[in-house]
Amino acid sequence: MEHITLPNLFFERSLEMDKKPFLWKKLNGQWLSISWKETEERVKQAAAGLKSYGIGPGDKVVIVSENRPEWVISNLAIITLGAITVPAFITNTEEDHRYIIEHSEAKAVIVSNNVLANRVALAINKNEICKLLIIIDEYQGFTPEHLKITSFEDLLDIGKNDVKSSLYNLNIIERDDVSCIIYTSGTGGRPKGVMLTHKSIYSNLIGADELVRQVGKMDHTYLSLVPLAHAYEYMAIFLQIYLKAQIYFSEGPEKFASNLLEVSPTLSTAVPRLFEILYDRIKLQIRLQGKILEFAFSRTLKLGKKNLIEKLNFLEKLENNTYCSLIRKRISKRFGGKLEAFISGGAALNPDIGYFFFSLGIRIIQGYGQTESSPLISANPPNKPKIETVGPAIKGVEVKLSDENELLVKGDCVMKGYWKQEKETAETIIDGWLHTGDLAKIDSDGYITLIDRKKEIIVNSGGDNIAPVRPEAALTFQGIIQQAMVSGDRRPYLVAIIVPDPELSSKLNEDELEKNIAEAVNEANKDLSQIERIRKYIVVSEPFSTDNGMFTATMKIRRHKVREAYGETLDALY
């Protein structure tokens, strides 16, 4: 691997790209860009400004912001000083912020808007270490006595007076130095601070670049949606720097579909939940456009899936290359017309959803990883996917199975450890192997199939081990069911919590809704083994969300939180 740190990578690319557009943000209905050269100047100014406030090598700076150019500029400025970025989700509560800021020993926080800034200010009210709050937008809120509050623009203005000092530490940064501490969003308990180095993230870029090359195009436009506080998107942004791509920041999940049309990206990342939403929307829109189009669409899906698995006969090829091709072009336009591939990560992708998009000509590079591996471990190569798997290990990563079939990972991608948690680090990295906690199997081609989380396996009263991911995927694949969580540890059978789709359920009365859900559960059970089938269930109207704490930021179920809310009701089903 090249001897390079992340800030050096950026400055090298900036020298090559100069005045070409780099970061794009929508403002007052218009997409506005900042060039590579302008970004570099702002990075140097922000770094010099932070240095003037005493931020130096090894110091921690928290970023609490939605995805926007200032996030990238702030992060690059922090690591240019040899300091350490601590990304935090904007969905965090005041208590979440207090824990992360105190635990990381952060000296400063960069925050985007008034609401978030007020929450952070309250979180650091009695913190003796964190004394600087930098606000990107205007602020009118609570100001603790010990806290210095300044604007992002003022930080840049301060830095303009001494830009040269911003680069003093650049050449003393080592590849093994920590670049960021990313707190796991956590499906259980307190989050742990994962220390990722310049080397660990850069090793991911090498592996990811090899995958992206398979989609063909080199002049990439990237649409960013997944929160930058997540290791998945944190690495993805550096991948775009590596690729010399233009980066557009989406206005959010609700505007993502319209942003795709406006931006016409070649690449974009998303979590599986987004694909499920797009899947439901496409199917509904096709259904509303008449039987002829619905038939053509159905054939396109069938032939597309068959073409992935086996060869088509002459007549099928003819169909696939005529009206099926027109259907695919029509779908492609919905995604901007230039999309080479979606990159899926953060949670498991339902294979049925994967086949659906591949059949429509929309390639999904399904990645698998963990924050502890920077985060990429494996991915389905776009030119040779096996949809039910998460692909083989990427370049530079070695994998094997333990005696219990737990997936173990070795390579430069593995974290340095958990910040201030030596015991947990020693339990997770043993003899250089990262113990992922995921149960898996590996086929003869090296493709990995995930079975489930080791700690989330349900052991029923008969001693059978059941992976909840299969019955949950079978339930949510039914149109009327938006979300589901199954339960049944030490019980004779599985029960479920079901959240109906609000759009579809709003058109039904109570009896109709009950009947539709019962039919959906029966349909899901047809694809499940005897022990995986759902015997009883409860229907709840409130969706799992980050707001109620039942979802992580990447839409994974926080099972302990759901059980806190519905445990007694589930127990009453037995």
Q: Which residues are CB-neighbours of 309 under 8 A, at least 6 positions away?
A: none
Give the model's confidence band at 345: pLDDT under 50 very low, under 70 low, under 90 confident, else very high: confident
**89, pLDDT greater than 80:** yes
Nearest to 380 by CA among 183, 208, 137, 144: 208
Long-range contacts of 34-38 (CB under 8 A, 24+ apart): 34/69
pLDDT (mean) for 442-465: 81
Q: Which residues pair with 495 in a beta bridge?
A: 487, 536
Fill in the amino acid letter for 302.
K
Structure-token pair, residue 75:
């992060």
45-54: string of b/e by CB count within 10 Å (b at 16+)?
A: bbbbbbbebe
Q: What is the pLDDT of residue 189?
A: 56
Segment among 159-173, 448-462, 501-515, 540-554 with least mean pLDDT: 448-462
Distances (CA, A) of 559 to 227, 553, 563, 565: 21, 14, 6, 10
401 versus 287: the higher-pLDDT residue is: 401
Domain ranges of the chain: 6-173+216-253, 457-571
Name the class of domain 457-571.
alpha beta
pLDDT (mean) for 418-433: 96
Q: Are 33 and 22 in contact (CB under 8 A)?
A: yes
- What does residue 336 show for φ and ψ, rounded to 5 degrees? 100, -15
Q: What is the pLDDT of residue 398?
A: 98
Q: What is the pLDDT of residue 549?
A: 87
**185, pLDDT greater than 70:** no
Q: What is the mean pLDDT of the chain?
A: 92
Q: Do domains 6-173+216-253 and 457-571 have the same CATH topology?
A: no
Residue with tokens 């775009």: 240
Structure-token pair, residue 361:
């000509």
Q: What is the pLDDT of residue 190?
A: 75
Q: What is the pLDDT of residue 14?
A: 98
Distances (CA, A) of 416 to 175, 181, 257, 391, 571: 11, 10, 38, 25, 42
Please list the alpha-helical segments (H only) found in 288-376.
Answer: 291-309, 314-321, 323-334, 351-359
* DSSP string for residues in 161-176: TTGGGGGTTGGG--TT
Q: Packing angle between helix 323-334 and helix 256-263, nearest 10 degrees?
A: 100
pLDDT (mean) for 214-234: 91
Residues 537-551: tens digit of each pLDDT: 999 999 999 889 898
Residues 319-337: tens digit of each pLDDT: 999 999 999 999 999 999 9
* DSSP string for residues in 153-219: HHHHHHHHTTGGGGGTTGGG--TTSEEEEEE---SSSS--EEEEEHHHHHHHHHHHHHHHHTT---S
Q: Are 487 and 495 in contact (CB under 8 A)?
A: yes
CATH number of 6-173+216-253: 3.40.50.12780
Three-class DSSP category at 108: strand
The greatest distance separating any two alpha carbons of the chain, rounded to the nearest whole angstrom, comes to: 77
